[in-house]
Structure 1
Amino acid sequence: MKTAVVGGGWAGIAAAVTLADAGHDIAVFEMAPQPGGRARSVAGDPPYDNGQHILIGAYRDSLALMRRLGVDPEAALKRLPLALPYPGEPGLHLPPGPPLVAFTCGVLAHRGWPLSARLGLLAAAGGWLARGFRCDAQLSVAELCAGLPDAVKRDLVEPLCVAALNTPAPRASAQVFLRVLKDALFSGAGSADLLLPRRPLSELLATPAAAWLGERLRLGRRVQQLEAGWRVDGEAFDGIVLACSSVEATRLAASIAPDWSATAQALRFEPIITVYLHSPGTVLPAPMLALRDGPEAPAQFVFDLGQLGGAPGRFAFVVSGAAPWVASGGCDEAVLAQATRELRWATPPVIDRMLTEKRATFACTPGLARPPARVAPGLWAAGDYIAGPYPATLEGAVRAGQAAAQGVLADAAG
C-alpha cells in the first residue's frame, strides 16, 4: 500500500515508522523546513529548544521509538528519580524501588510538610488507588484535591498538574490527572523517573527520523487539499494519516468529515512560554528546581542546562498555563525579577531569549470532547489531541501515531 502521513511531528514520525515497518510505501508531508513539530530545536549556538520538554520513565513507546531510530535513551536523556526541590528546600523525593513503597517512603520522609499533611496525602492516594484512579469526568483537579492540606496542593498537586496538563488545577480534568498519576507513580519501578534531555531536542527524534526517512520525507510541503479516494493534492494514496495540528486537520477534513472537524475545531489551547536566562559561572543546586508561581512570579520550573550537557550558564524558565502572560505581551522581565529574588547567582542573570508557543497544548478541561482517531475509512488522525486517556504529551502523540497507523493497516486488511 501507498500511505500518506501529513505532518512530521512525533505523532507523524511514529505513524510513518509503524507503516514502513509493516511494508507500506510512505510519504511524509511536513509544512515546516524541519520535522519535529512543537518538540524541536531552533537556531542558536548551541541550539535552543522550542520549550523545555521532559520525558518520564513511563514513556515506554517514546523510548522504544527512539531506539528504533538509533538513539540510545540512556545516553540522550539524564535519568533522575522524581524530585520536586524548591530553592532552599529539599521538597519531595521518591527513592528507588516498587512504586507503592517508593511513594509512601518519599511522602513520609518529606520533612517540609507536617505529619498531618503527609498522612492526608497518603490517605487520598489510597482512595484514588482503591477506585482504580477513576472519578467523575466533570470533576476538576481543584475539586478532586479540595480536601488535601494546603501545603500538599501548593507543593505537589498544582505544579504536577500544570506540568502534565498545562492547565491550571481549577480548570484541569481530574480524570486525566489521575491517569497521569497512575502511570507515572504506580505503574512500575522507574516509571516516575524524570528523563531530561542531554542533547538538543531535535536530536532525540526529529533529526534521526529525517535521516531514516530520507526521500520519503517531503519538507516545506503544506498540504492544500484531501479528496476522498484518497488523494493528497492530486496524488493518489491507499490511506492517509492526518498527523498535523488539530487546526490543520480541521481544515483538511472539513469537506470529508464535517462532524469530526467540528469537534476538532472546538478545542481550545493553552500556551507555554520558555524564558532563557544567561549567567556565567552559576550552577543551580539541581538540574531542575520547582518554583512557586504567582501574580509576579510566572515560572513554575527552572532547568540548569549546563548540568544537562547544554550551554553552561544557560537556564530555561518554564511558564505553563501562560495565557495571562501572553495576553499581557510576555513575561521575560517578570521571570528575570523572579529569578533574581529566588535564586543565587554567581553573576547577574540577563535575558537571553523568550520563546512562546501559543498553541502548545489543548486545554485539558473536565468533560472535554476530543475527536476520535478514525475520521473516515482509510483516513485516520494522530496527535496528542486525539481522544484518549492522556493529556498533550510526547507519549500521547507517539501512541496516537502508532494507533492511527494500525487503523490504516486494519482498514487495508478488512
Structure 2
Amino acid sequence: MNPRRIAVVGAGWAGLAAAVQASAAGHAVTLFEMATQAGGRARSLAAREGGPDGSRLDNGQHLLIGAYTATLALMRQVGADPDALLLRLPLTLVDADGRGLRMPAGAPIPAFARAVWALRHWRLAERLALSRAALGWMLQRFRCADTPTVAELTAALPARVRAELIDPLCVAALNTPADAASARVFLRVLHDALFAGPGSSDLLIPRRPLAELLPEPALAWLAGRGARLRIGQRVQALDRLANGGPGRWAVNGDVRDAFDAVVLACSATEAARLTTGIAPGWSRQAGGFGYEPILTGYVQAPGARLAAPMVALAEGPAAPAQFAFDHGQLGGLPGRFAFVVSGAAPWVARGGGATAAALLTQARATLHRPGDPALDVTLEQVITEKRATFRCVPGLQRPPAGIEPGLVAAGDYVDGPYPATIEGAVRAGLAAASAVTTQAAALSDRGVRPG
C-alpha cells in the first residue's frame, strides 16, 4: 500500500487515537490543534492556569473504567503505563461516611450481586428490587426501546435505590440527569461493565495530570515517527480540490500542501462549521446537539481525608456536587479535593458566585468529621466546561462518521452505542483512521498514485 497524506484536525483523545493509528499504518500524518495543548475536553491546564502551588490541574476530574480497553491499549502503544498512571479499584460507590456499594474482585456479575446483598443499610425489599431489576435487564440482554429515560426505566425501584445507586451511576456515565438520560445508552454502559470480563467494572482514577495519560506521550510518539504537529493552529477552512485527483483536500486554502484524506476530530461545533459547504445535511446534524456542562471545584483542606479516593455525595438545592475525589489518596497533593458537578446546567445558570459559595459550603460539610477540630477549607479554583458532553437523551440522532470520500469524522458524538466518554472518543478515532487507511488501500489497489 502506498503511504497517503492524512490530516487530522483536532488533538483531543479522538484525534490522537486517529493520528497514532494512521501513523502506525505508515501514512504521513499532520495533526492540527487550535488550542495550545492537546487533550480536548480531557486535558490538563497550562501551568499558569493550574494550582497556586505550581501543579497542573485538569479541566475536570475524569474517570475511566476497566472496560475502556481501546483507551488502555492506546496508552500502552505510546508508552504510557496505565498501571502506574491510574489507580485501579473495584467498583466502589460509597458516601462520605464510607457506606455504600463495594464490589469485590472477580467476575463482575456475581461480584455485583454480592455487593448488593452486602448493603446492610438497605432494607431486604430494596436489595430484592434491585436484584430483580438487574436480572430482568440481563435477560433482555441489557436492551430496551429507544424512547424511555433512565428514570422511566427504573421508576419501579425504591427511592433509596434510585437515589444512592441509579442516579449517581447515570450522571457519572452519561453526564445527563436520570429524568432526561437515555435508558438504552445507560443499559449499554452497564452491559459492557458487567460482561466484558473480570476487571471491566473497575474504577480507573488518574494519579497524574491528564496530559501525562495520553496527550503528551502521544505527541512525543507521533513526533518520533515524523508526524507534523501543528499545535496552536486552527483550521479555518477545508476545501475539496476538484482537479486534484481522488480524495484531495486543502487545509486553510494551502493547495500546495494538499491531503489525500482528512479526519475531522475537532468538536462537533467546529466540524459543523468546516463542513457547511461540503455536506450541509451532515453539518446541520453535527451542529444540532444540546450539551451538558461539568463544573469542578478544587478545594484545599490540609489534614482532611475522604473515606475513599472517590465518594458519592447527596445532591440537593444547596449541594451541587455529586462526587468528591481525594487527591492525597491518588498520589497527588494531600489536602486537595475535587468536587464534581455533572449535568451542571442549573448551577451554570445560577452564576459563578452562587455556585462557588455552595461548593465551599458543601465541601466544609463533607470534609469535617463530627468531634474533629475545625478545618481550614478554601476554594482553590472552579473550572467550568460548558460543553463537556452532548446531552444523551432518548432518540438522539447522531451523525455518521463518514461525511464524504476521504473525509471522516471522529469524536464521541458520532453515531455509536456509547455516551460522550473517553473510550467513545478513542474508538471513534481508531475507526476513522481505519476508514481512511482502508480507502487508501483501495486507491492503491486500483493503481491510483498518491499526490
TM-score of the two chains, using structure 1 as the length reference: 0.98
| Counterpart-to-counterpart distance in 2, 1:85 and 1:78 | 17
Look up the SS of the partner of 2:314 in the other structure: coil
| Counterpart-to-counterpart distance in 2, 1:77 and 1:168 | 27
| Counterpart-to-counterpart distance in 1, 2:391 and 2:61 | 19
2:250 maps to: 231
2:300 maps to: 278
The aligned amino acid for 2:437 is L
TM-score of the two chains, using structure 2 as the length reference: 0.90
| Counterpart-to-counterpart distance in 2, 1:187 and 1:25 | 35
* 329, 344, 367: which one aligns with 2:351: 329
Which range is displaced more, 352-361 or 330-339?
330-339
* 388, 391, 397: which one aligns with 2:425: 397
Look up the SS of the partner of 2:104 in the other structure: coil
| 1:291 maps to 2:291 | no
* 1:138 CA displacement: 1.0
* 92, 97, 100: which one aligns with 1:91: 100
* 366, 375, 380: which one aligns with 2:394: 366
* 238, 241, 252: which one aligns with 2:274: 252
Q: Does the CA contact (< 8 Å) of 1:141 and 1:169 recur in 2?
A: yes
1:2 maps to: 5
Which range is displaced more, 297-306 or 339-348?
339-348
* 1:230 CA displacement: 1.3
| 1:265 maps to 2:268 | no
| Counterpart-to-counterpart distance in 1, 2:232 and 2:363 | 39
Q: Does the CA contact (< 8 Å) of 2:137 and 2:143 recur in 1?
A: yes
| 1:219 maps to 2:243 | no
- Structure 2 counterparts to residues 74-113 of structure 1, below 5 A: 74-113=83-122
* 1:185 CA displacement: 2.4
- Aligned pair count reads 414
> 1:244-292 CA deviation, whole Å, 9 max, x = no partner?
0000000001111111011111111000000011011112121111001
* 1:115 CA displacement: 1.0
| 1:27 maps to 2:46 | no
Look up the SS of the partner of 1:12 in the other structure: helix
2:338 maps to: 316
The aligned amino acid for 1:310 is G
| Counterpart-to-counterpart distance in 1, 2:287 and 2:44 | 28
1:177 maps to: 186
* Greater C-alpha Rg: 2
> 1:96-125 CA deviation, whole Å, 9 max, x = no partner?
111221111111111121111111111111
| Counterpart-to-counterpart distance in 1, 2:206 and 2:85 | 6
> 1:356-403 CA deviation, whole Å, 9 max, x = no partner?
000000000000011110011110000011110000000000000000
Look up the SS of the partner of 1:41 in the other structure: coil
* 1:187 CA displacement: 2.1
Which range is displaced more, 87-96 or 244-253?
87-96
| Counterpart-to-counterpart distance in 2, 1:342 and 1:111 | 22
| Counterpart-to-counterpart distance in 2, 1:100 and 1:360 | 31
| 1:188 maps to 2:222 | no
Look up the SS of the partner of 2:99 in the other structure: strand
Which range is displaced more, 37-46 or 187-196?
37-46
* 1:186 CA displacement: 2.8
Look up the SS of the partner of 1:244 in the other structure: coil
| Counterpart-to-counterpart distance in 2, 1:295 and 1:304 | 24
| Counterpart-to-counterpart distance in 2, 1:250 and 1:5 | 15
Look up the SS of the partner of 1:395 in the other structure: helix
- Structure 2 counterparts to residues 342-361 of structure 1, below 5 A: 342-344=366-368, 347-361=375-389
What are the ranges of 5 or more consecutive residues in structure 2 without an aligned counterpart? 241-247, 443-451
Question: How much identity, in percent, do the aligned residues show?
Answer: 60
Look up the SS of the partner of 2:75 in the other structure: helix
Which range is displaced more, 217-226 or 338-347?
338-347
1:384 maps to: 412
2:243 maps to: none
* 1:317 CA displacement: 0.2
The aligned amino acid for 1:219 is I
Q: Does the CA contact (< 8 Å) of 2:98 and 2:308 recur in 1?
A: no
| Counterpart-to-counterpart distance in 2, 1:85 and 1:185 | 19
* 1:348 CA displacement: 2.2
Q: Does the CA contact (< 8 Å) of 1:240 and 1:378 recur in 2?
A: yes
| Counterpart-to-counterpart distance in 2, 1:96 and 1:291 | 24
| Counterpart-to-counterpart distance in 1, 2:150 and 2:208 | 33
* 1:341 CA displacement: 2.2
| Counterpart-to-counterpart distance in 1, 2:413 and 2:332 | 30
| Counterpart-to-counterpart distance in 2, 1:37 and 1:342 | 31
| Counterpart-to-counterpart distance in 1, 2:163 and 2:357 | 24
2:244 maps to: none
* 1:89 CA displacement: 4.3
Q: Does the CA contact (< 8 Å) of 1:137 and 1:173 recur in 2?
A: yes
Q: Does the CA contact (< 8 Å) of 1:46 and 1:310 recur in 2?
A: no
Which range is displaced more, 399-408 or 278-287?
278-287
The aligned amino acid for 1:95 is P
* 1:343 CA displacement: 3.0
